Structure 1
C-alpha cells in the first residue's frame, strides 16, 4: 500500500447541530448541549458518509482518520481501508481534538484532507494545515462562508474520485472565513478572513466564497417584494414560511412585518404567527394547513437549501411540496453564478433528486426566469 493514495478524514460530529433548532450556529459546548436538549440530531457523519460512498469501490487508497465519531465509525460502516492515527482526548470531542487530529494527518503525509464541518471547523483545520496539504470540506455546518467547501457532500466525493483515478486536478488557494455567531444571532453578518488553504480546483464542484451585496438593487428588490405581497394577499388562510436572507427580508419590510433576518418565520393572513421557528415547529405548522415557502438563494454560491436554513428540513420541504416553493432572486444574483446551477443540499439525496430540474425564479414584478437547480 505504499503507493496508495492516502486520504485523511476528519469529522466534527457536532457540526451544524444548532441549525435545525434555530440556534444559528454550533460553536461552543453550551450551544451543543442546548441543541441536543432541544432534540437536534448529529448529521455530520451522515454527510461524510455520502461523500465517501462515491469512492467506496474505487480502490487504490487508504483512509487515515481519528477514532470514533471523528471518522473511524463512518469509514468502518462503509468497509473502507482505514487506519486510526488519533484518538480524541474527550467525549464529546472538541475543537482541540480537531486540530490535533489534523496535525496527526499532516505528520502522516496524507495526500488530501477531507473534513466535515462548518466555518468553525475550517478555521481549526486552517490553523494547522496552512498550505502544507490540500484540503476539501464536506459541508455540514450552519455557516458555510468559506471557499474551501464542496457544493454538496456528493460533490466532495466526486472531486476525490477524480484524484483517485489519476486525473489532472489542479489546486488553488481558497479563503477561510467565519462570522461572529453572537452577532449572527442578532441578525448581523460580520464575516472575517482567517486565512487560506489549498483546495482541488474543480469549479463545478467547489463553492465560491459567500458574497454580500455590493450594488444597490433596492428598486429590483422592491419590485419583487411588491409582487410577492400581492400574491400573498390573494391566498388567505395559507401559511407562508419565510426563509432567511436579505431578499426575503425586503418582502417582510414591504408587508410591514417584523422579520428574523437569519431565521425562519411564518406569516398567515398578514400577520407573523411564529418567529425564528425550529424544524419541528415548522413541520407541525405546515402539516396542519396549506403552506408555501418563500426562499432565496445565497449570493455567489447559489445554494437554495442546506446553507443557513437547516430549519427547512427534508420533512418540512416534502410537506410543503415543490410546487409551493416561491424562489426569489434578482437577475444580478443569478448572473453572479456565471452559468452554474442553483444548488440543493437538503441532506436527503432522494429529495434533492425530486427537487432537481428547471425551477421558476421570481426576478421582478410579474417577472420570472427559469433556471436549473441540481
Structure 2
C-alpha cells in the first residue's frame, strides 16, 4: 500500500470568485470582498475518493490548517510530520511541509492548490524524484501536474503504476490582473501517468473573426450576455463595440457594458430575466468552467444558458470539453453533447465529460 503525503494550501483559489484572478499577496483583499475558503472542500473531495479506493492507505500530512483535519474528516488516521506556526500560512510553510513529507519517505505528494502551490511543492521535492500530483483549487492552473478534478486526483493517487516528466509553470499575477499572460517554466517533475491528468495550457487560439461577427449578428435585445475571459471571447467583445477585460468576466446588455472584470456578486447583481454565459475552452485542456473563470460560479450558471465558442484549430487539439465548477450536481447537468460555435454559421458537436 502506498504512503501518501498530503498537503493543503488553505487559501488557494480564494481570489477567483471575487475577481482577483489569483490569491498571491491578495488574501486580505479577497476576504474584504467576501471570499470564502475553497481549497478545503476540494481537498475533502480528493480524500473521499482516495478513501473509497484505499481506506487503509497510510497518509502523512501537515498540521492544521494544512491537512490534518481534512484527512481525519475523510476517514483517515493521518500521521502529522510538520505543523505551521499559526493559521495564516505561506509558500514557505508549504515548502517546509513537503520537505518533511519527502524526508519521511512518502511515495507521492498529493497537494491542493494552484500553480503557485505547485511551484512551492516542486522546489521542496528538489532532486529527490518523489512524484507529485495536484488537486486543482487555484484560480490559474497552467501546469501539467494537476488531475482534471479533485476526485480524479484521489483515484489516481491509488491506481497509477507509472510516472512521467511534466512541467510546472507559473505566471506573473500582477501582469495577469492587467490582462497579460506571462508564463515561466519553473520545474520539470515526476507525475503519475493517467488520462485524467490535465495537459499544459496552450495559448494559441487561431482566427476567430468570422465567429465573432456571426455571434454579434445574432445578439438579442433584452438578453444579458456574460462574457468570459480569453482571446476568443475577447474578439466577440470587440465586435460588440467595447474592449473588454481580457482575463476577466464582463457583462453586456443592449449595447451597454454593465460590469467590467466582475466578481461573482457583481455578475449576479447584473443578471436579467434571460442570461447567456459565453465561454471558450482552454486550449490543450478543454476546460470551459473551473479554470481561470471561477467568477462564473454555480449560482451564476444556474441562472444562465451556456454558449461555448472556439476556433476549429483549438477544438482539434482538445477532443472533449471538461467542467469543474465545484458543484458535482451542476457538473453532471453540464455533461453530455454540446454544440460549439466555430464560425459565422458553423457549429461542431463536442462531448462534455
Contact map agreement 1:136 1:156 (CA 8 A) in 2: yes
Give the whole-Å Cα distance in 1 for the aligned partners of 2:62 and 2:56.
Answer: 20
Give the stretch that moved more between structures: 87-96 or 33-42.
87-96
Match of 1:352 in 2: 331
Equivalents in 2 of 1:130, 1:223: separation in Å? 47
From 39, 62, 73, the equivalent of 2:34 is 39
Once the 2 structures are TM-superposed, how far is the Cα of residue 60 of structure 1 from its aligned partner? 3.7
2:120 counterpart residue number: 124
User: 2:182, 2:60 → 1: CA distance?
Assistant: 35
1:180: which partner in 2? 172
Distance in 2 between the 1:175 and 1:123 partners?
Answer: 10
| Whole-angstrom CA distance in 2 between matches of 1:280 and 1:73 | 30
Determine which of 333, 343, 352 is the counterpart of 1:364: 343
Distance 1:9 1:100 in 2: 13
- In structure 2, the residue matched to 1:141 is 138
Please give the alpha-carbon distance, in whole angstroms, between the structure 2 residues aligned to 1:335 and 1:79: 42
Q: Shift in Å at residue 84 of structure 1?
A: 0.9
List per-residue Cα deviations over 1:153-205 (Å, max 9, x = no partner).
12111212314xxxxx2100110100001110110000001111100011x20
Aligned pairs for 1:26-65 (under 5 A) are 26-28=23-25, 31-57=26-52, 58-65=54-61
1:241 aligns with 2:226: yes
Pair 1:92 & 2:88 matched: yes
Q: Deviations over 1:25-46 (max 9, x none)?
A: 1112xx1011011110101011
Task: Quote how far apart the aligned CAs of 1:91 are.
Answer: 2.1
Shift of 1:247: 0.1
Q: 1:1-374 alignment to 2 at 5 Å?
A: 4-28=1-25, 31-57=26-52, 58-131=54-127, 132-163=129-160, 169-202=161-194, 204-213=195-204, 217-218=206-207, 221-232=208-219, 235-286=220-271, 288-320=272-304, 324-337=305-318, 339=319, 341-374=320-353
- In 2, Cα distance between equivalents of 1:161 and 1:195: 24
Q: Give deviations 1:251-298, integer Å, cap 9, x for gaps.
A: 111222120000000011022111111101112222x43111111000
Secondary structure, in 3 states, of the residue corresponding to 1:69?
A: coil
- For the residue of structure 1 that corresponds to 2:50, the secondary structure is coil
Q: Is the 8 A contact 1:47 1:153 kept in 2?
A: yes
Moved over 4 A (4+): none
TM-score (norm 2): 0.97
Paired residue secondary structure (1:128): helix
TM-score, length basis structure 1: 0.92
Distance 2:158 2:110 in 1: 12
Contact 1:99 1:128 in 2 (8 A): yes
RMSD value, Cα = 1.2
1:48 shift after superposition? 1.1
SS in 2 for 1:127: helix
3-state DSSP of counterpart to 2:239: helix
**Please, which runs of 5 or more residues in structure 2 have no aligned partner?**
none
